[in-house]
Structure 1
Amino acid sequence: MITPPNIQYELADKQQAIAAGGIGTILQLSKQLDLRNEINQAIPLFKLHLPYDEADHVMNIAMNLLAGGNCLEHLEDRRSDEAYLNAVGAERIPDPTTAGDFCRRFSDTDILHLMNAFNRARQRVWKQQPEEFFDLAIIEADGTQVETSAEKKQGIGINYKGQWGYHPLVVTLANTREPLFIANRSGNRPSHEHSAFYFDLAIKRCRDAGFRKVVLRGDTDFSLTENLDRWTDDEVEFVFGLDAMPNLVKIADNLDESAWKTLRRRRSEKKPPEKPRAKRLRLKEQIVVENGYLNKRLAGERIAEFDYQPGKCNRTYRVVMLHKEVHLTRGQMRLFDKEEPVYFFYITNAAKKAKPARQVVIDANARCNQENNISQLKQCALCAPLNDLRSNWAYMVIASLAWNLKVWAGLMIKPSGTSEQRLEQAKMKSKVIAMDFTTFRDRILMIPAQIIRRSRSLLYRLLSYRPSVDVLLLIESNIRRPLRC
């Protein structure tokens, strides 16, 4: 079927078009949030603006990622594209070398000020949300490895897996998947390093925004027992994993059998299809059985809890235990149950009536979505294109603005109209917030548009239609509404 005719190329005379026609909506969003002013006030790095100011550099890097670029070198494609320059209203933009020099001007304090500038703009977006949005703020933290094969990057380290690179800490608002703070560290540093400091900053930011309850979540590395009493006094709830230390395992082994309850996880409540499709074979399981590999199968789960006082705490907390019963098989033969019991421990200060043991386990497992958030940030922000730790930290924070703008575009949707329209728009809002970065960019922003400059306006004329154009136009119409003060 693919039989193209004779193909020829020619350049248009006056018409100009760009592939990323949706970036006009993103530029309008940044203008509505007064983002440029916030950035310029937060990081006065230049004595003179000849010709770029600080916001020009920050927006240049973020818009490059949203317009289809993947690295600093792709700025050269943007700055040599006259249609793109007209689309963003610029005579010229910084080249890759100038952008790298800008990142090297930052101090640690400047980077913190820049993150606070983003957070002030973020609060304007939060103010547009319904009242129930402020019932609960779930703050999660985790570290991730940003690998690099370069040998001359200052601050890199090697982790226990033998990977060279940096080990940034990412503190996220789980409700909306927004990165509140990013802290770059050497590749050999532990995950929890400096996490209490950034947890405290995130708590204050959420409290100032009006959230009525704050919950902290993290894996075993983030159960910082020296801070638990302080957070409890501040009425901050937490659910952290706890290492299976020998004393905890001993308590679990000596518990009475009546203390254990079977854990039943709720399955999806989706209605089964009227015409169920035939199930495909589990090929991996089949290969394991045929080759006689040792196979571990989860046979059941039980939960129990007890009160426990960590060594650095002055009060007791609830510790919820999850016991996994694992069966070992080889081929078709059942060998024996796993000799050493498999325990998982979670520590929390939540009241039993408000959060039963089963809910504690579910909440702790829900933080696995933080891994998805980090993987999305690796598509745009978590990389190390520069030569030292601080400049790469600055780049990560600046590039994270691209992900933030994507989330803010979804949050700005205010469902309106008939009940059916409000329901449809609410689903669309949730879909945009949860959408992968590359999916958002390719489906919603990468719509070809002709750029027409007028005396007092700039017209984006979309050159094609697909269903995602409706989402773009919905976002654009909501962004133009006056902000709620």
Structure 2
Amino acid sequence: MSRSYPKILRNRKRRIERRLDPERRWSEQPNRMLSASNIHFEMAERERAVNYGGIGAIHLMGQRLGLAEEIDGRVQLLKRHLPYHESDHVLNLAYNALLDGQRLEDIELRRNDETFLAGLGAQRIPDPTTSGDFTRRFDQEAIGDLMEAINRTRQRVWKKQPGGFLSHALIDTDGTMAPTLGECKGGIGLSYKGIWGYAPLIISLANTREVLYVVNRPGNVVSHEGCVPWIDRAIELVRPHAGQITLRGDSDFTLTAQLDGWHSQGIKFIFGMDAHAKVVQLVQALPEEAWKLLERLARYEIATEPRAKAPRIKASIVRFKGYLNKKLVGQSVAELDYQPNKCGRSYRLVVVRKNISVQKGEAVLFEDIKYLFYITNHTDYRAEQVVALANGRCDQENVIEQLKNGVNAMRMPVDDLLSNWAYMAASALAWNLKSWYGLLMPNRRRGLELVQMEFRRFLHAIVLLPAQIVRSGRRIIYRIMGYNRYLKDFFAAWEKLRRMAPA
């Protein structure tokens, strides 16, 4: 790689800024801006290029972290390697997602791309049918081994983070629905909503948005089915690197039989609770002075002048049409000690009271009260802070959405519960690779920006880069041919990875 790339980046940045200069004053243009007409196409005879040059950086990161070695050392599914190793299959599935593949069949595009194969130093990669057959070799133990291999690699990333990185680790747990139209999918179930499919369990780390464990289950199970062993594994994974650990989940995961055990280990938790008759009666007996106004903490500070709010078009239509409307009037918060039946001690129960005005058109029909309950063993937070911390778990819904529609991990393309679970674990690796790349970026602010990005935006910023592939001696050179504002940090990350000692 030429050492002149900083100069090249500056020149490319200068040229695009000149084109997009907001201070430029345009005169009336006689011709359209998109004016190209005399367009010709030719085939390059010698030059070879791809439109996903960032995959080389991701592959280099995996090599430096020892990802392939971990997978091959723990996942033993092939008696002979003719010609592929287990890591070849797993990375093939993960890279398919990283290259914006929507289906297993998209692997065939890369398999027939000689330049892509040369860029990864591969003679060939598994075809879609072979990849599907590989997922069918997994049993539950092998899937667990695959996730532990990924987690061993993950810990190497965490060890390279600055001090205080996980001073307060937030482990989120939730279930979701992965519907399928397949008639012959083994292990599917019918959910209470009448949807056929699977019900994956997702355990993620809110600090880095990494998926720690993904567990496939039949579609008819309740959200918390079988979650305790996986939560405990997540705790053991995070504990050596974290100061304090907090578990979060909705009311389905308030497993009162487990709370004392987690508390005795020093694990904190904040779970939602159902508004059943007993706790509602306790709350209604509280004196009015126990309640105080709930002030939601600002998500960010406005750096400029606050802008006027746009007119609420939906609200005006609801009033005009006379639709039934529930409008939040105010919120207040209180707390009390509460001991669930299966617990040997009491815990802090934080309650949010929502005052709701039920309206029809302009007329107010009646006032309604709704209660939200959060049980926690956090004693050093104010009630408002407990509510804010609990509401922060909502970001896991965004992570789940990215697993579904970003890396397409829940397409369920193969034939039964276990093979689709293996596919999920391999595809979710693509999402984790995104987080690891951001965490290893030298520019901390820009790296955390990548961690928070949606997957598709990350692809366009880091992976989908036009690049020429050149073999020079024992080197594989990616010559980036375009420009975007992340390239300076992209090269800084490459320099860091290049100097990193292999695991």
TM-score normalized by the length of structure 2: 0.91
Cα pair 2:166 2:207 within 8 Å, conserved: no
Aligned-partner residue type, residue 222 of structure 2: P
Alpha-carbon spacing, 1:21–1:484, altered in 2? closer, same or farther (3 Å): closer
* C-alpha distance in 2 between matches for 1:286 and 1:373: 33
Aligned-partner residue type, residue 360 of structure 1: V
SS of the residue aligned with 2:413? Answer: coil
Cα pair 2:461 2:484 within 8 Å, conserved: no
Q: Which residue of the partner structure matches residue 306 of structure 1?
A: 336
Q: Deviations over 1:39-79 (max 9, x none)?
A: 00111111110100001101111111112312110010010
* C-alpha distance in 2 between matches for 1:215 and 1:13: 58
CA shift, 1:5, in A, is: 2.1
Q: Which residue of the partner structure matches residue 54 of structure 2?
A: 22
Q: Is 177-186 or 261-270 further displaced after alignment? A: 261-270
Q: Does 1:212 align with 2:263?
A: no
* C-alpha distance in 2 between matches for 1:266 and 1:205: 31
* C-alpha distance in 1 between matches for 2:274 and 2:444: 40
CA shift, 1:238, in A, is: 0.4
* C-alpha distance in 1 between matches for 2:300 and 2:136: 52
Aligned length: 469
In structure 2, the gaps of 5 or more residues are 1-31
Aligned-partner residue type, residue 322 of structure 2: G
Q: Which residue of the partner structure matches residue 319 of structure 1?
A: 349
Q: Which residue of the partner structure matches residue 292 of structure 1?
A: 322
- Which of 386, 389, 395 does residue 423 from structure 2 map onto? 395
Aligned-partner residue type, residue 382 of structure 1: M
Q: Does 1:481 align with 2:499?
A: yes
Cα pair 1:321 1:344 within 8 Å, conserved: yes
Alpha-carbon spacing, 1:278–1:135, altered in 2? closer, same or farther (3 Å): closer
Cα pair 1:128 1:484 within 8 Å, conserved: no
Q: Which residue of the partner structure matches residue 160 of structure 1?
A: 192
- Which of 402, 412, 416 does residue 384 from structure 1 map onto? 412
Q: Deviations over 1:227-276 (max 9, x none)?
A: 001001111000000111110111111111121111111235523634x6
Cα pair 2:201 2:214 within 8 Å, conserved: yes
CA shift, 1:277, in A, is: 5.1
Cα pair 2:66 2:502 within 8 Å, conserved: no
Q: Does 1:472 align with 2:490?
A: yes
Q: Which residue of the partner structure matches residue 124 of structure 1?
A: 156
* C-alpha distance in 2 between matches for 1:65 and 1:357: 42
CA shift, 1:426, in A, is: 2.5
SS of the residue aligned with 2:166? Answer: helix
SS of the residue aligned with 1:286? Answer: helix
Please give the residue correspondences for 1:426-441 in structure 2 after superposition, counting only pairs within 5 Å. Answer: 426-441=444-459
Cα pair 2:65 2:502 within 8 Å, conserved: no
Aligned-partner residue type, residue 358 of structure 2: L
TM-score normalized by the length of structure 1: 0.94
CA shift, 1:111, in A, is: 0.4
SS of the residue aligned with 2:304? Answer: coil
* C-alpha distance in 2 between matches for 1:229 and 1:349: 10
* C-alpha distance in 2 between matches for 1:281 and 1:299: 19
Q: Does 1:77 align with 2:95?
A: no
Cα pair 1:20 1:68 within 8 Å, conserved: no
* C-alpha distance in 1 between matches for 2:180 and 2:452: 28
CA shift, 1:335, in A, is: 2.4
Alpha-carbon spacing, 1:192–1:465, altered in 2? closer, same or farther (3 Å): same
Q: Which residue of the partner structure matches residue 355 of structure 1?
A: 381
* C-alpha distance in 1 between matches for 2:124 and 2:256: 52
In structure 1, the gaps of 5 or more residues are 415-424
SS of the residue aligned with 1:76? Answer: helix
CA shift, 1:466, in A, is: 2.1
Cα pair 2:63 2:502 within 8 Å, conserved: no
Q: Deviations over 1:14-48 (max 9, x none)?
A: 11100001111001100000111100011111111
Identity within the alignment, %: 46
Q: Is 328-337 or 249-258 further displaced after alignment? A: 328-337
- Which of 201, 206, 224 does residue 192 from structure 1 map onto? 224
CA shift, 1:463, in A, is: 1.2
CA shift, 1:305, in A, is: 1.2
Please give the residue correspondences for 1:439-454 in structure 2 after superposition, counting only pairs within 5 Å. Answer: 439-454=457-472
SS of the residue aligned with 2:500? Answer: coil
Q: Does 1:404 align with 2:432?
A: yes
Q: Which residue of the partner structure matches residue 248 of structure 1?
A: 279
Q: Deviations over 1:377-436 (max 9, x none)?
A: 11212220101000000000011111111100000023xxxxxxxxxx222111011011
Q: Which residue of the partner structure matches residue 332 of structure 1?
A: 362
Cα pair 1:305 1:319 within 8 Å, conserved: yes
* C-alpha distance in 2 between matches for 1:184 and 1:457: 41
SS of the residue aligned with 2:164? Answer: helix
Q: Does 1:65 align with 2:97?
A: yes
Cα pair 2:374 2:387 within 8 Å, conserved: yes
Alpha-carbon spacing, 1:318–1:294, altered in 2? closer, same or farther (3 Å): same
Q: Does 1:369 align with 2:401?
A: no
